[in-house]
Amino acid sequence: MYSVLANLDLEHIAKIIWAIYMVLWAAIRFRPNKKSRKTGISFTNRSPIERFSMAISFTGLGIIPAIWVFTNLLDKFDRPTNFLMVLIGTLTAIAALILFRKTHKALGKMWSHSLDLRDDHKLVSEGVYKYVRHPMYSAFWLWALALPFLLSNWIAGFAGIIGFGTLFFLRVGEEEKMMEQQFGEEYREYCNRTKRIIPNIY
């Protein structure tokens, strides 16, 4: 075991950390995804822009890093790495996972991967939703920001920021409009108490 580890360079260790991370992220999402399918949708706002931005986000956060990890197609964009970069990337990724889990716990069956309102939708403003109104997007931002530290490749490292950034900025205003239409004054008050993704800042 030790000799196997000793032969791995930092780039390979980071690739393994990335793969474990993807499995854990999927594991956290597995049950909410299964449960949410059983809860009906009363309103949906899956416009072509929303579908396009979900595809861009998935490509940037998942597909492009996977291409770098599993093939050599992007190798000419490799950059050097060091222990500190991989450590910062790993710690940021762990923070993203913890926050991601907490958001699913708080949101329960109100969660959906797109802009939907569930049957009997309730406004969640407790748990991590007390501090910001889009903590799941904060977790995705942490994931996107972890990648340039963790993945020593210019394309794979930055694709997540571009991909998720596109989804976030195209979606967040639409989501807030939808929530305001549904919850009116209750949502406006909630917005007055909270920032979007960074407590007290933004």
Task: Report the residue number, 116 or 147, with the smaller CB distance to ligand SAH.
Answer: 116
Q: Which of 14, 56, 86, 117 is close enough to bind ligand SAH by CB under 6 A?
A: 117
Q: Is 61 in the site for ligand SAH (CB under 6 A)?
A: no
Cβ-count burial 50-73 (b if 16+ within 10 Å, e if not): beebbebbebbbbebbebbbeeee
Q: Is 124 in the site for ligand SAH (CB under 6 A)?
A: yes
**157 Cβ contact partners less than 8 Å away, ≥ 6 residues apart:** 79, 147, 148, 149, 150, 151
Closest distance to ligand SAH from the beta carbon of 190 (Å) = 7
Closest distance to ligand SAH from the beta carbon of 158 (Å) = 22
The interface region with ligand SAH, picked from 12-20, 75-83, 106-114, 156-164 by CB under 6 A, is 106-114
Task: Report the residue number, 88 or 123, with the smaller CB distance to ligand SAH.
Answer: 123
Quote the crossing angle between the two packed helices 48-58 and 154-183, to the nearest 10°: 150
Maximum separation of any 2 CA atoms in the chain, in Å: 62
CB atoms within 10 A of CB 152: 23
Q: Which of 19, 24, 88, 123 is close enough to bind ligand SAH by CB under 6 A?
A: 123
Q: Is 54 in the site for ligand SAH (CB under 6 A)?
A: no
Q: Which of 15, 101, 104, 134 is close enough to bind ligand SAH by CB under 6 A?
A: 134
Q: Return d(Cα 158, Cα 100) in angstroms, integer.
A: 21
Q: Is 99 in the site for ligand SAH (CB under 6 A)?
A: no
- Going by their DSSP bridges, the two strands 116-118 and 41-44 should be labelled as antiparallel
Q: Is 111 in the site for ligand SAH (CB under 6 A)?
A: yes
Which helix (H) or strand (E) is 118 found in, with range? Answer: strand 116-118
Q: Is 115 in the site for ligand SAH (CB under 6 A)?
A: yes
Q: Return d(Cα 114, Cα 112) in angstroms, integer.
A: 5
Give residues in contact with ligand SAH (CB under 6 A). 103, 110-112, 115-117, 123-124, 129, 133-137, 175, 179
